[in-house]
A and B are shown apart, each in its own frame.
Chain A
Amino acid sequence: MEEMTLLQEIFDGLLGLGLLWLAWRSLACTDMFKAIVLFIAFGLLMALAWLRLEAPDVALAEAAIGAGVTGALLLSALAGLTSTGASRHEVEQPEGVEKQTGTLHRLPILLLMLTAALLGYAVLSLPSHDPGLSAEVAENLASSGVSNPVTAVLLNFRGYDTMLEMAVLLMALLGVWSLACVESQRDSSADPILDMLTRLLVPLLILVAAYLLWVGAHAPGGAFQAGSVLGAAGVLLILAGWRLPSRLTGWPLRLVVLSGPAAFVAIALITILIGGRLLEYPTEHAGTLILIIETMATLSIGVTLAALFLGSSPEHEEKQ
């Protein structure tokens, strides 16, 4: 139907313009709080764009991680900045831009427009029909143990990348824990409404995370989306003032954080010992192995994201 494609083109055009406009406003705003809120809205529009591009797994991940957890991290960092005395507005206008006049002032913008034009030309000159690797993935999907092609690629065909990605998360947490910062004073008494909201939402979030984990084998979902929903539950708990009891912040916490990468590495070593090739699952056990890796990964991603939001190592929290 002609009208439907025109409507869709208008929608896509508006969405693209909205993305560019939100990004520009977010980067050009002098008030940092406004900039962060615009960035969160930008993340939600990106999730819409992923849906238009038929990438529901990416849309789930973007909505949970890109807009949700990143937004929480940015707002928490802004609160930390203002409590150490830095201004919420930019302290000085970028002087380099103001004082330079004439051609030198316009040089960065000209160079940038040239870069944009070159990149745009490079993108537009790509072939408009290119199946990529979708045929190979579809052929081997039956032997991969799951029926969602993105999960199959993430955890079976490109499992090595995912294993290293879990290690990156762990290293980020190590970096954050090793930098001790002055903690901003947090209200120890949570508002009763926030308390009630947390009590209602956290069990539901855990249920949704378990559902996303399970359904990721045959529908959009998977370990990262489920882990980020768990991370969101953790952020909500932290905001409501809940902290881990101190007997759990030593070895048990570190064990859970390690369990994702460790399970992956352990299974990788087992596949080397059995078959001689890294991460080549035996076909009849592939589904089970993927489920084990995904479960451990979900737990450790959730706990890692919540710990990244908390920002200070458990020992530092106890000393305060």
Chain B
Amino acid sequence: MGLIDYLSTILLIAGGIFFLAGTVGLLRFPDVYTRLHALTKADNVGLGLVVAGLVVQAESWAAAGKLVLIWLLVLLAGASISYLIGSGALQRGIRLWKK
């Protein structure tokens, strides 16, 4: 495996670790709002690292650009949808978790 492959592997594994952290947050956090927080933050960074690992291997600038565009779209959709879930939960009267 060449240097590029090692770099890809490190970035992909790092992305995987962030996804794992986000999933652990989803399972362990006490209420909707903290879970949303864990999911969006960790998963966006994780996806960014995975995309970086794939961009390194891309064979043309167009393919790399498309991968980055996918990441930006997921960022946009994730942020909007987590806001909508949060505001929907507030409207339904789900209260924030207080210790």
Q: Do the two chains belong together in a single complex? A: yes
Report which A residues bind B (CB closer than 8 A): 191, 193-194, 196-197, 200-201, 204
Contact A193 B83 (CB under 8 A): yes
B63 to chain A, nearest CB (A): 13
CB of B80 within 8 A of chain A?
A: yes
Chain A residues contacting B73 (CB-CB under 8 Å) are 201, 204
Interface of B, helix, strand, loop or mixed by DSSP:
helix
Which chain B residues (8-55) contact chain A, with CB distance < 8 Å? none
B52-99 CB contacts (< 8 Å) to partner A: 73, 76-77, 80, 83-84, 87
Q: Which residues of A contact B84 (CB under 8 A)?
A: 191, 193-194
The interface size of chain B toward A, counting residues with CB under 8 Å, comes to 7
Q: How far is the CB of B56 from chain A (nearest CB, A)?
A: 19
B6 → chain A, closest Cβ, in Å?
15
Closest residue on chain A to residue B81 by CB atoms: A197
Beyond A194-B80, A201-B73, A204-B73, 13 additional pairs, beta carbon < 8 A: A191-B84, A191-B87, A193-B80, A193-B83, A193-B84, A194-B84, A196-B80, A197-B76, A197-B77, A197-B80, A200-B76, A201-B76, A201-B77
Can you list 16 A-B pairs with a CB-CB distance of less than 8 A?
A: A191-B84, A191-B87, A193-B80, A193-B83, A193-B84, A194-B80, A194-B84, A196-B80, A197-B76, A197-B77, A197-B80, A200-B76, A201-B73, A201-B76, A201-B77, A204-B73
Q: Is the interface of A mostly helix, strand, loop or mixed?
A: helix
CA distance A197 to B84 in the complex (A): 11
A124 to B80, CA, bound (A): 47
B77 contacts across to A, CB distance below 8 A? 197, 201
The closest CB in chain A to the CB of B80 belongs to A197
- In the assembled complex, the Cα of A201 lies from the Cα of B73 at a distance in Å of 9
Query: Which residues of the other chain, B, contact A191 by a CB distance below 8 angstroms?
Result: 84, 87
In the complex, how many angstroms separate the beta carbon of B9 from the nearest chain A beta carbon?
A: 12
Residues of B within 8 A of A200 (CB): 76
B74 to chain A, nearest CB (A): 12
Docked complex Cα distance between A222 and B50 (Å): 28
Contacts of B83 in A (CB 8 A): 193
Minimum distance in angstroms from B5 CB to a CB of chain A: 12
Chain B residues near A196 (CB, 8 Å)? 80
- Most A C-beta atoms less than 10 A away, residue of B73, B76, B80, B83: B80
For A197, list chain B residues within 8 Å (CB): 76-77, 80
Nearest-neighbour CB distance to chain A for B91, whole angstroms, equals 10
Residues of A within 8 A of B76 (CB): 197, 200-201
Q: Nearest-CB distance from A37 to chain B (Å)?
A: 12
Q: Which of A193, A196, A204 has the most CB of B within 10 A?
A: A193
Q: Which chain B residues lie closer than 8 Å to A204 at the CB level?
A: 73
